[in-house]
Amino acid sequence: MPNPADFDRHSPSVRNFTAVNDEYHIMKHSSGLILFWIMAGLFVAGIAGCKRTAENSVTHFYIVRHAERYPGFEGSLTWYGRLRAGDLMRKLQDSGIGKIYVTPFVRTVQTADSLRLLQRIDTACYLADTSGRDLLRSLTVHKDYGKRILIVGHANTLPGILRSLGVKEPLPAFPDTVYNRLFEVVNDHGKVSLRSSSYGRPSLPPAPAP
């Protein structure tokens, strides 16, 4: 009976067997790597294709009217309005705001400026309309569902904003003299809740008629 030790490990037959065995292990390892990268690519593609919407995320909206301002179409904030902007910053600085939405009017920009500058928050602009449709369009375009968002609007646009965000319950009146209301809307996978409160200093009484 031949002794295995008598075989020359460098003989052609042994070399061929070793080469085939090594090639098999290399191919097996390569196939595993290829499968891994295919699965990783499919996973990344799945994440990229999963767009956040109001129905598949939790979004917190904080909605306020701009602070007190001077008369005129482009009136900037008064001294009292600037103090209120500071009140808003102190109210929301620990809320984790990830995006701010303002209209093209300087009074809404200035209302958010204290918070925006303190925390360097990204800001987007939407058109002021009484339906809230352009705000929804901007939220979708910027893919901001799933964040905590501050929205600064106007007395005549707040009702439409709240309705467009899914609020169904009756809304309070929005008199021109009230500036210190804060509305928090939470959209939890399509289930919407509303909480209202006051922030900062009280609104000033109406100026006496001349």
CATH number of the domain enclosing 113: 3.40.50.1240
Instruction: Assign 49 to helix, strand or coil.
Output: helix
Both 108 and 173 in a single domain?
Answer: yes
Both 80 and 38 in a single domain?
Answer: no
Both 96 and 182 in a single domain?
Answer: yes
Cα–Cα distance, 85 to 79 (Å, whole number): 10
Both 17 and 43 in a single domain?
Answer: yes
Both 67 and 35 in a single domain?
Answer: no
Please report the beta strands in the chain, taking only residues with DSSP state E, as ranges in sequence order.
58-65, 99-102, 123-125, 148-153, 181-188, 191-198
Residue 77 lies in a domain: yes
Both 38 and 128 in a single domain?
Answer: no
Q: Which pLDDT does position 48 carry in this prediction? A: 43
Residue 119 lies in a domain: yes
Both 89 and 183 in a single domain?
Answer: yes
Q: Which pLDDT does position 135 carry in this prediction? A: 98
Both 108 and 146 in a single domain?
Answer: yes
Residue 139 lies in a domain: yes
Both 182 and 126 in a single domain?
Answer: yes
Cα–Cα distance, 68 to 117 (Å, whole number): 20
Total domains present in the chain: 2
Both 102 and 170 in a single domain?
Answer: yes
**Residues 82, 58: contact at Cβ < 8 Å?**
no
Residue 206 lies in a domain: no
The segments of the chain whose pLDDT lies below 70 read 1-50, 209-210
Cα–Cα distance, 56 to 43 (Å, whole number): 18
Q: Which pLDDT does position 87 carry in this prediction? A: 98
Instruction: Say what the pTM is.
Output: 0.76
Q: Which pLDDT does position 46 carry in this prediction? A: 45
Calculate the CA 57 to chain-centre distance.
Answer: 10
Residue 24 lies in a domain: yes
Residue 35 lies in a domain: yes
Residue ranges making up the domain that contains 151 = 58-198
Residue 210 lies in a domain: no
Both 62 and 35 in a single domain?
Answer: no
Both 149 and 186 in a single domain?
Answer: yes
Residue 78 lies in a domain: yes
Q: Are strands 58-65 and 123-125 parallel, antiparallel or unpaired?
A: unpaired
Q: Which pLDDT does position 199 carry in this prediction? A: 98
Q: Which pLDDT does position 206 carry in this prediction? A: 80
